[in-house]
Amino acid sequence: MTKPNLSILLVEDDSFISGMYQTKLTNLGYQVELIDDGDVAAARLKQDPLPDLLLLDIVLPKKDGFEILEDLRQDERTQKLPVILLTNLGQKPDVERGIKLGADDYIIKAHYTPTEVVEKITKVLDDRASQ
């Protein structure tokens, strides 16, 4: 089950985590771009082509994931971009804020194995493809 034409932008400042997900997703055939800084990610998302999915940490240098998500949902060009928040912030107000801002899913890193996270990514992409 390869996804040769689908791209994922992974915005994560922990190089171990980003490297692990890059390997898992690349092995499935996804094209993965890594960014470790909120400002750089925000600038990248103003350029074409947009990724097919954004996997976004919340706690990032310079600009946090909530700010990035809010900006995306206010811009007509990016408001339908699938976004999964992948974070250690597990408090109910954080989860509610992420969903209210328009995240397609909110994944708390400690609650899921990397394989389960990849399954959630595939599900969001498959759901979007069938719409």
Tens place of pLDDT per residue across the chain (131 aa): 555 589 999 999 999 999 999 999 999 999 999 999 999 999 999 999 999 999 999 999 999 999 999 999 999 999 999 999 999 999 999 999 999 999 999 999 999 999 999 999 999 998 877 77
**Domain membership flag for residue 1:** no
Per-residue pLDDT, 3: 56
Query: Is position 131 within any domain?
Result: no
Q: Is residue 2 part of a domain?
A: no
Residue 76 CB-half CA count within 13 A: 0
The CATH number of the domain where 51 resides is what?
A: 3.40.50.2300
Does 55 fall in a domain? yes
Which domain does 56 fall in, by range? 7-126
pLDDT of amino acid 100: 97
Asked if residues 92 and 71 have their Cβ atoms less than 8 Å apart, the reply is no
> What pLDDT, on the 0 to 100 scale, is given for residue 4?
57
* Backbone phi, psi, residue 14, to 5°: -95, 110
Which pLDDT score is estimated for 17? 95
pTM tops 0.85: yes
Domain count, the chain: 1
- Domain for residue 108, yes or no? yes
